Structure 1
Amino acid sequence: MFVQNLFLVSFVALLGGLIMKYLRLPILIGYILAGIGFSMIFPVKVADIENLAQLGILLLLFSIGTELSLKRLTRIGNVVIIASVIQIIIVTLILSLLFRVFGVSFPAALILAAGFSLSSTALVVKLLVDRGESGSIQGEILTMWLLTQDLMVIPIIILLPSLTSGEFWISSTVKALLLSLLLISSTLFLGKLAVPYVIHRIASYNSRELLFLAAISLAVGVAALTSVFGVSPALGAFLAGLVISDTQENHAIFAETRPLRDLFVTLFFVSLGFLINPTVFVSHLGLILVLTISVIIVKFFVVYLISLSLGIRGKTSLYLSIGLSQVGEFAFILFLLARNFRIIDPVLTSVGISTTLLTLILTPLTFRTIIPIWRKIKLAVVDKPDLKKILLSQGDLYHEEDQNTFKDHIIICGFGRVGGWIGKAFDSAGIRYIVIDYNQRVVSEVQKQGIPVIYGDPAEPEVLEAADVRLAKGVIIAVPDRITQEEIISYVQTVNPKAKIISRAHLDEDWERLSSLKVDRVVQPEFEASISIIKSIFINMGKSKEEIALRIKNLKYAHSVKK
Structure 2
Amino acid sequence: MTSIFLQAFIYLVAAVIAVPVAKRLGLGSVLGYLIAGVVIGPVIGLVGEETNTIQHFAEFGVVMMLFLVGLELEPKMLWAMRNRLMGLGGLQVGGTAAAVMGSALFFDQPWTIALTIGLIFALSSTAIVLQTFNEKGLSKTEGGQNAFSVLLFQDIAVIPMLAFIPLLALPKLIEQAQAAATTAAEHHDELSLVASLPGWAYGLVITGSIIAVVVGGHYLSRPLFRFVASSGLREIFTATALMLVIGIAALMSLVGLSPALGTFLAGVVLANSEFRHELESNIDPFKGLLLGLFFITVGAGINFSVLLNDFTIIIALTLGAMAVKALVLYGLALIFRIKGSDRWLFTLSLAQAGEFGFVLLSFSLQNHVIPADIAQPLSLVVALSMFLTPGLFILFDKVILPRFEKTSNDRETDEIDEQGTVIIAGIGRFGQIVNRLLVSNGVKTVVLDHQANQVDVVRQIGTKAYFGDATRPDLLHTAGIEHAAALVVAIDHHEHSVELVKYVKHTYPKVKIITRAFDRGHGYQLRQAGADIIESETYHSALEVGGHAMKSLGLHPFFVEQQKTTYKRVEERKSDKLYAAWKDDSEEERFDNNYRDLFIRLEEVMAEEMKKDRSDKHSRSERGWTPPPKGYTDTFDDDQPQVN
- Tell me which interval the TM-score lies in, with the shorter structure as reference length: 0.5 to 0.7
Matched residue type, 1:270: I
Give aligned pairs, total: 491
Using the TM superposition, name which of 184-193 and 312-321 deviates more.
Answer: 312-321
Alpha-carbon displacement from aligned partner over 1:344-384 (angstroms, at most 9, x marks no partner): 462x43221110111233345546777899968988998xx
Alpha-carbon displacement from aligned partner over 1:51-92 (angstroms, at most 9, x marks no partner): 564343333333333333223325656985687676566545
- When residues 317 and 469 of structure 1 are mapped into structure 2, their CA distance, relative to the original with a 3 A threshold, is same
TM-score by length of 2: 0.58
Give 2:305's aligned residue: 279
> How far is 1:145 from its partner?
3.0
SS of the aligned residue for 2:70 comes to helix
* 2:148 pairs with 1:143: no
SS of the aligned residue for 1:559 comes to helix
> How far is 1:301 from its partner?
2.8
* 2:109 pairs with 1:114: no
Matched residue type, 1:11: V
Give 1:33's aligned residue: 35
C-alpha distance in 1 between matches for 2:262 and 2:146: 22
Matched residue type, 2:8: L
Q: 2:51–2:297: 8 Å Cα contact kept in structure 1? A: yes
- When residues 67 and 11 of structure 1 are mapped into structure 2, their CA distance, relative to the original with a 3 A threshold, is same
C-alpha distance in 2 between matches for 1:434 and 1:227: 62
Q: Aligned runs of 1:264-343 on 2, under 5 Å?
A: 264-305=290-331, 319=346, 322-323=349-350, 325-327=352-354, 328-333=357-362, 336-337=365-366
> How far is 1:502 from its partner?
4.2
Give 2:424's aligned residue: 409
Give 2:68's aligned residue: 63
> How far is 1:126 from its partner?
6.4
Using the TM superposition, name which of 253-262 and 519-528 deviates more.
Answer: 519-528
C-alpha distance in 2 between matches for 1:189 and 1:541: 50
Q: 2:213–2:265: 8 Å Cα contact kept in structure 1? A: yes
Matched residue type, 2:55: E
Matched residue type, 1:143: L
Give 2:14's aligned residue: 12
Identity of aligned residues (%): 18
* 2:578 pairs with 1:559: yes
C-alpha distance in 2 between matches for 1:68 and 1:279: 42
SS of the aligned residue for 1:409 comes to strand
Give 1:158's aligned residue: 167
C-alpha distance in 1 between matches for 2:575 and 2:390: 44
* 2:279 pairs with 1:253: yes
- When residues 288 and 561 of structure 1 are mapped into structure 2, their CA distance, relative to the original with a 3 A threshold, is same
C-alpha distance in 1 between matches for 2:213 and 2:576: 63
Using the TM superposition, name which of 255-264 and 124-133 deviates more.
Answer: 124-133
Unaligned runs of 5+ in 1: 167-171, 383-398, 437-442, 453-464, 479-487
- When residues 83 and 112 of structure 1 are mapped into structure 2, their CA distance, relative to the original with a 3 A threshold, is same
> How far is 1:291 from its partner?
0.7
Q: Aligned runs of 1:180-199 on 2, under 5 Å?
A: 187-188=213-214, 190-199=216-225
Q: 1:411–1:467: 8 Å Cα contact kept in structure 2? A: no
SS of the aligned residue for 1:329 comes to helix
Give 1:458's aligned residue: none
Q: Aligned runs of 1:118-137 on 2, under 5 Å?
A: 118-120=122-124, 123=127, 127=131
Give 2:181's aligned residue: none
> How far is 1:304 from its partner?
5.0
> How far is 1:234 from its partner?
3.3
C-alpha distance in 1 between matches for 2:172 and 2:406: 47
> How far is 1:158 from its partner?
2.0
SS of the aligned residue for 1:247 comes to coil
Q: 2:47–2:300: 8 Å Cα contact kept in structure 1? A: no
* 2:239 pairs with 1:239: no
Q: 2:424–2:446: 8 Å Cα contact kept in structure 1? A: yes
Give 1:395's aligned residue: none
Alpha-carbon displacement from aligned partner over 1:255-274 (angstroms, at most 9, x marks no partner): 34434433333333333312
C-alpha distance in 2 between matches for 1:30 and 1:275: 15
C-alpha distance in 2 between matches for 1:43 and 1:33: 14
Unaligned runs of 5+ in 2: 176-197, 417-421, 440-444, 477-486, 505-512, 548-554, 582-644
- When residues 36 and 204 of structure 1 are mapped into structure 2, their CA distance, relative to the original with a 3 A threshold, is same
Q: 1:304–1:317: 8 Å Cα contact kept in structure 2? A: yes
* 2:524 pairs with 1:503: no
Using the TM superposition, name which of 194-203 and 126-135 deviates more.
Answer: 126-135
Matched residue type, 1:559: L
- When residues 556 and 119 of structure 1 are mapped into structure 2, their CA distance, relative to the original with a 3 A threshold, is closer
Matched residue type, 1:489: H
Alpha-carbon displacement from aligned partner over 1:262-287 (angstroms, at most 9, x marks no partner): 33333333333123111111222221
* 2:353 pairs with 1:349: no
Using the TM superposition, name which of 320-329 and 123-132 deviates more.
Answer: 123-132
Matched residue type, 2:51: V
Q: 2:471–2:496: 8 Å Cα contact kept in structure 1? A: no
Q: 1:411–1:476: 8 Å Cα contact kept in structure 2? A: yes
- When residues 243 and 116 of structure 1 are mapped into structure 2, their CA distance, relative to the original with a 3 A threshold, is closer
Alpha-carbon displacement from aligned partner over 1:93-112 (angstroms, at most 9, x marks no partner): 5434434544x443686266
Matched residue type, 2:20: L
SS of the aligned residue for 2:517 comes to strand
Give 1:457's aligned residue: none
Q: 1:66–1:244: 8 Å Cα contact kept in structure 2? A: yes
Alpha-carbon displacement from aligned partner over 1:486-539 (angstroms, at most 9, x marks no partner): xx4335556885376643436xxx589868985845859689959x99xx99x9
Out of 23, 26, 49, which is 2:25 matched to? 23
Q: Aligned runs of 1:151-230 on 2, under 5 Å?
A: 151-162=160-171, 187-188=213-214, 190-230=216-256
Q: 2:73–2:271: 8 Å Cα contact kept in structure 1? A: yes
Alpha-carbon displacement from aligned partner over 1:363-421 (angstroms, at most 9, x marks no partner): 45546777899968988998xxxxxxxxxxxxxxxx999965999434488x7xxx7xx
Q: 1:183–1:226: 8 Å Cα contact kept in structure 2? A: yes
Matched residue type, 1:220: I
> How far is 1:159 from its partner?
1.8
> How far is 1:292 from its partner?
1.0
SS of the aligned residue for 1:286 comes to helix
Alpha-carbon displacement from aligned partner over 1:168-187 (angstroms, at most 9, x marks no partner): xxxx99x9999989976774
Alpha-carbon displacement from aligned partner over 1:177-223 (angstroms, at most 9, x marks no partner): 99989976774455334334543454455443343333333333333
C-alpha distance in 1 between matches for 2:91 and 2:519: 50
Matched residue type, 1:192: H
SS of the aligned residue for 1:245 comes to coil
Q: 2:425–2:470: 8 Å Cα contact kept in structure 1? A: no
- When residues 202 and 351 of structure 1 are mapped into structure 2, their CA distance, relative to the original with a 3 A threshold, is same
Q: Aligned runs of 1:96-107 on 2, under 5 Å?
A: 96-102=101-107, 104-106=108-110
